Amino acid sequence: MKRYILYALFAILAIGFNSCLKSNLEELPAFEENDVTNVDRVEYRFISDEISKASNQKIVKFINLTVNKKEINKTDKTVKIEVTVPAANSDFPTVERDKVSKANLTVILSVSTAARVFPIGDAPRLGTPGDWTNPHKYKIEAANGNTAEWTVEVTNVTK
């Protein structure tokens, strides 16, 4: 008897979880935007003298620079960023603060929903340390395949 109940339950579940709708499904539009939407942050990274208890390796520290000005021009497809280096403290020694320059920053941007970013030429990958002494170009590809070439520049680093 238990076997018949299990077979009946299995049959009901198999029918219940099978969709009848196989065709004529509404086609949803793909995202078309390929813009930079925000400058999330600009960082300076350095290897500190502190040792990780987990790995016995030196710890990489991240220092967020203050973004004073960010100009995102969607018409010209340009981003201009001005930052200030924070004051030295126990987590950010003067020796490391003095090393901060456009040549060793990490820039992190937000882009349109479902868009992908590809560096052009010698541009550093966004989110990784790179040399920002010159403007860099990036191709931003929307989900539907539309592309735009953006120029990102760190215009000033104030200490």
Domains in the chain: how many in total? Answer: 1
pLDDT value at position 103? Answer: 97
**Residue 19 domain-assigned?**
no
Q: Where are the beta strands (DSSP E) in the chain?
A: 36-51, 58-73, 78-84, 106-111, 116-120, 136-141, 147-158
**Residue 114 domain-assigned?**
yes
pLDDT per residue over 19-43, tens digit each? 566 666 777 678 999 999 999 999 9
**Residue 14 domain-assigned?**
no
Instruction: Provide mean pLDDT across the span 77-94.
Output: 97
Mean per-residue pLDDT of the chain: 92
Question: Integer distance in angstroms from the first to the last C-alpha of the chain?
Answer: 82
Domain that holds residue 132: 36-158
Show Cβ contacts of residue 32 under 8 Å, excluding neighbours closer than 6 positions: 142, 143, 144, 146
